[in-house]
Amino acid sequence: MRKVFAGLVMACFGLPVQAGGVALVLGNQSYDTLTEASEASQVMQTVSALEEMGFLVLAGEGLSAEEMRAQLAGSFEQIQREESERVVIVLSGHFARSGSGTWLMGTDSSRAGLALADGQGLRLDLVAEIAAFASESAVLWLAPAGDPPDLGPGLISELPEAFDLPEGVAVLRGPAAQVVQGVRASLRPGTTLASIARANRALTGEGALPEAVPFLPEGFTPGARADMRAWALAQDADTEAGYQAYLDAFPNGQNAQAARTELDRIRNAPDRIEAALFLTRDERRAIQRDLTVLGFDTRGIDGIFGPGTRGAISGWQELNGMGQTGYLDRDQIFTLAVQAADRTAEIEAEERARREAEERADREFWALTGAAGDEPGLRSYLERYPQGIFAGLARERLAQIATAQQAEQRNRDLAAWRRARALDTVAAYEAYLRDWPEGEFVENARARIEQRRPAPQPPVAEPDPEPTPESPAVAQARAAEAALGLSQPTRLLIERRLERLGLDPGPIDGVFDDQTRVAIRQAQTRFDLVPTGYVDQDFLTMMVSNLFREFFN
């Protein structure tokens, strides 16, 4: 049965190996094809003793060559990472040697011989070299099994008489029971490896076996030293996981209370407390709005707590006598919301009072100005209150005044024209032009003046001037009128209706002379038609249909 062990819960949390060091224990008793290595599994009894003295123990029982190499690699990694002071390696099972090396054979070994030794066993020279990485002391405990098997050509089933060991490495060999006894003895503080070899004749030692230097010094307390190292690493990490790992390894350690205090500090950190609220984007916007209402600039209401929002929170906390963390807890969010609601109500009350005051002032000014209905008062009101309560009414009344003024102006213009027509003299028409230079009948007056002035006689010797050619538009208008084939009654009707419009068509005789053309142009302008002076279908329709009566009325 294959069993692999890893010692000390601390290693599971990435904490350092205790000051005892690193240990590797491998016991191969049952083999797949070779004879059983009797009592080899007894070395597994050393695991608990090593762990009690603070060693990180990697152990395996009944392992193949590949599995043993994996355990050795794990040990090497821990030795390097923790800069171990001491290394203990305990090996038991079938050993084999040749001129090139020594191996602990894996349980999957066969009688293949030297050619496959490296593939089926764990090289002891490599094990010793790794053990030499210990900074103070390293020892290999070897327990070969009795009744050695035949491992094939080139291999001898025993350990060599001596090892070529790296500096600082000791080897102690003997039966499994004596190895277990020797390992336990070496773990008593103040005991030297040399004294153990002398006291137990079943054990043979070589290499670094100093007489005066114990394997573990007097007063060695692995738990306290491991506690200190684990606490130092937890402080360096300064994380929840680091302090929790320390407490898992040392629940009653020297620094347990300090670790719990640090855990409380981290778990109660303002940013952690706020993060635990899992505020939504809308909730964050609401907080930013509350801060803004209270006069703290968050630099935008976007649901993102950047430097602007954190600064606003700190300012609010300072104003309210709280710790200026820049982060909020549930109670602070509630307090902030209550304060913002109260301030919002105050702002709304202030706004209502302001609007009421403005409305009173609006009404009072209207009473002083626009209520009278005169143009100066209405304009004065609109100048001050362009969007006021009575602005629409003021504009409506001004429009009515303007319409009345335009009607009065037109009536005066028409009366002046009728006076000029009644006199029907050049002087009367010139007086009209002088008094009404922009009047509606200016063209009529000028035409009348031209008719009443004698035309200048051309010199007898000179030929008649060439007639001015008509423009294409005038020619087209003339042709359009001719195409209508206006009858005499229709022409008379058009002249009468021109006269009813206050225009001067000349004599009402059904003949369209120059004066009639002037009146037609004026009427076309009034009807928003092209002013050609010639009758087209649109003009004729206006003059003879109900549209004329509606316009005239």
pLDDT digits (tens, 9 = 90+) for 404-422: 999 999 999 999 999 998 9
Domain 3-207 top-level CATH class = alpha beta
Using the Cα atoms of residue 357, residue 358, residue 363 and residue 368 in order, give the sign of their dihedral.
Answer: positive
pLDDT at residue 225, rounded to an integer: 63
Looking at per-residue confidence, does 251 or 8 come out higher?
251
8 A C-beta contact, residue 143 and residue 104: no
The number of helices, as runs of H, and strands, as runs of E, in the chain is 22, 10
- Give CA–CA dist 495/504, Å, rounded: 9
- Top-confidence residue, 344 or 222: 344
Q: What are phi and psi of 170, to 5 degrees?
A: -115, 150
Higher pLDDT: 286 or 552? It is 286
The edge-to-edge listing of strands for the beta sheet with 101-105 is 95-98, 101-105, 121-123
Q: Is the pTM of this model over 0.75?
A: no
For the CA atoms of the chain, what is the radius of gyration? 60
> Sign of dihedral through CA atoms 243, 244, 250, 256?
positive
State mean pLDDT over 91-108: 95
The residue type of 423 is: L
Give the Cα separation of 316 and 296 in Å (integer): 7
pLDDT at 267: 82
Question: What pLDDT does residue 253 have?
Answer: 79
Question: Hey, where are the domains in the chain?
Answer: 3-207, 222-268, 279-345, 371-455, 472-552
Average pLDDT over residues 129-153: 92
Q: Which two tokens stand for residue 123?
A: 């090289």
How many Å apart are CA 502 and CA 262, to the nearest integer?
104
Averaged pLDDT for residues 157-171: 94
Instruction: Please give the C-alpha separations between residue 408 and each of 56, 63, 291, 447, 505, in angstroms, as whole numbers.
Output: 116, 123, 63, 25, 24
Round to whole Å and give the CA distance between 86 and 168: 10
Please write the tens of the pLDDT for every residue from 457-489: 665 555 555 555 678 888 889 898 999 889 888
In 341-478, beta strands by DSSP E: none
CA distance 322 to 332: 9
| 21 DSSP assignment | E
Residue 223 reports pLDDT greater than 70: no
Torsion angles phi and psi, residue 344, rounded to 5: -60, -40
How many whole angstroms separate alpha carbon 213 and alpha carbon 324? 58
Residue 460 pLDDT = 55
- The mean pLDDT of 85-100, rounded to a whole number, is 95
| pLDDT at residue 398 tops 60 | yes
The mean predicted confidence, pLDDT, of the chain is: 88
